[in-house]
Amino acid sequence: METPTPQDVSFFEKARNWISNSITLRLFTIGILILIMLIPVSMIEDLIRERQYRQSDAQNEISSTWGHPQTITGPVLSVPYTIYNKVYEKEGSDKFKLVPATQYVHFLPENLKMDGNIQPEVRYRGIFEAIVYESDVEISGNFFFPDVSNWEQKDFFRWDEAFVSVGISDLRSIQEDVKIMWENQQQSFEPGIPSYDVMASGIHVKVNIAPFIAENKKDYPFKMNFKFNGSNYIKFTPIGKTTDVFLNSPWPTPSFDGAFLPDKREVSKKGFAAHWNILNLNRSYPQYFIGSTSGIGESAFGVSLMLPVDQYQKSMRAAKYAVLFITLTFMVFFFIQIINKVRIHPIQYILVGFALCIFYTLLISLSEHMHFGVAYLIAAISIVLLTSFYAQGTFKNTKLSFMLAGIMGILYGFIFSIIQLEDYALLVGSIGLFIALAVLMFITRNIQWYSNK
């Protein structure tokens, strides 16, 4: 058996010393460990998405029994008329017969006013919340007929079969019989709609306007009131030549969305009040048309009743910074290691990394049962204490352990401030990273990076 030469022993000792003391190798190892930490971080993000899906399923279950989000369209006055289509006996033949078919001309209101009150309520399915509401909407206005004497279809209009229809997304949620005041007479609506040109679902009432057309009557006022349930949001379509919508509710966190924002709004802890005033010039469809037209659904506007805190959205935003947090924490350990000459094994880095990942599972589970801020505080304190106690056993230095706990506390506070400041998150984050880099450069300005000591 050959005995190692002094040259071989010297080589192995140098290699061992380089592995033990090389700063470059330590940084490379830390980089590999950070990449390994991407695996649990991605699993945490998948967990948050899975909880979001479960919340969405629970909300859909509640909506399916209470009432889906509602979009109100109408009222629309529709008049059927007869057209005759040529139907040839066979291809290439000159013989044909006229087959009658029905089309509709639709008239939109001249003035439309909607005054609605929304009474929200939070319902639960397990631990998940959903917002539902009861709405009471009063609709009034008038139809104004244009001069149809020059229309080629005027002789085929069936004025005695005219009807008024109102579109509503979920008919099951209507709570009371809906009646309309039309020409000083109160009439009840019937389920369904004879024509799907303007709306996909709704209710209708027949209004015989043939006698009034004979008198050349142009103006037809109307008024109705109906109550219905819904969830998440309520929207309206501005089909009036002038559309005024007033909404009020005790819900304190509304989100106004759709094609138009309110002209006036007041939002406080006691609720909100909003007013929309929309002209026909603000939309792309006319006041009367034959058949279907485009753009009615796209012009809808309204309000969404938002939950004050969406813990999953905030948890996901916190998880987006997980790699940054792990990197900064590892760098703190690294500089403690080289400045104070403390030996830290890669396994210890991995255990600290797993502890930092556990923070997010604690945050998700706790925030489902308490306020997000309280959950964040409890999770952060738990991980800071766990990591600092572990560091005490590693560093054998109480001062360094307290310093680590303070730095981690500052980092958790920094991340929390970024989560809260949605609009200014980039600004605050950039300033915070600049300060962190400046402090890091100041602390390490005297380190001899090429030295093994």
Main-chain phi, psi angles of 174, to 5 degrees: -65, 130
SS3 at position 413: helix
pLDDT of residue 449: 66
Q: Look up residue 338 and give its two tokens.
A: 């080289």
| 3 state DSSP class of 341 | coil
Backbone region of residue 218 per phi and psi (left: phi > 0; alpha: psi in -120 to 50; beta: other values): alpha
**pLDDT at res. 30:** 82
pLDDT of residue 17: 59
Residue-wise pLDDT tens for the chain (453 aa)?
455 555 555 655 655 655 556 667 777 888 888 888 888 888 988 988 998 888 888 888 888 888 889 999 989 999 888 877 777 767 766 777 777 778 888 999 999 999 999 999 888 888 888 889 999 999 999 998 877 767 766 677 888 888 999 999 888 888 888 899 888 888 999 999 988 888 888 999 998 887 777 777 788 899 999 899 999 899 999 999 999 999 999 999 899 998 899 999 999 989 999 999 999 888 888 888 888 888 888 899 999 988 776 788 888 888 888 888 888 888 888 887 777 777 778 888 888 889 999 999 999 989 888 888 899 999 999 999 998 888 888 777 888 888 888 988 988 998 888 888 767 778 888 888 888 888 878 877 776 666 655
Tell me, what amino acid is at 419?
A: I
- Give the residue carrying structure tokens 């880099």: 437
In the structure encoding, which two tokens stand for residue 13, read together?
């000792």
Residue matched to tokens 């030469």: 5
Residue with tokens 């190798």: 25
Other CB atoms within 10 A of residue 197 CB: 19
Containing H/E element for 265? strand 264-268
Q: What is the pLDDT of residue 136?
A: 93
**Contact present, 229 and 66 (Cβ < 8 Å):** yes
The residue count for the chain: 453
In 3D, which of 309, 368, 308 has the Cα closest to residue 54? 368
pLDDT for the residue numbered 204? 92
pLDDT of residue 217: 79
Q: What is the pLDDT of residue 19?
A: 56
pLDDT score recorded for residue 312: 84
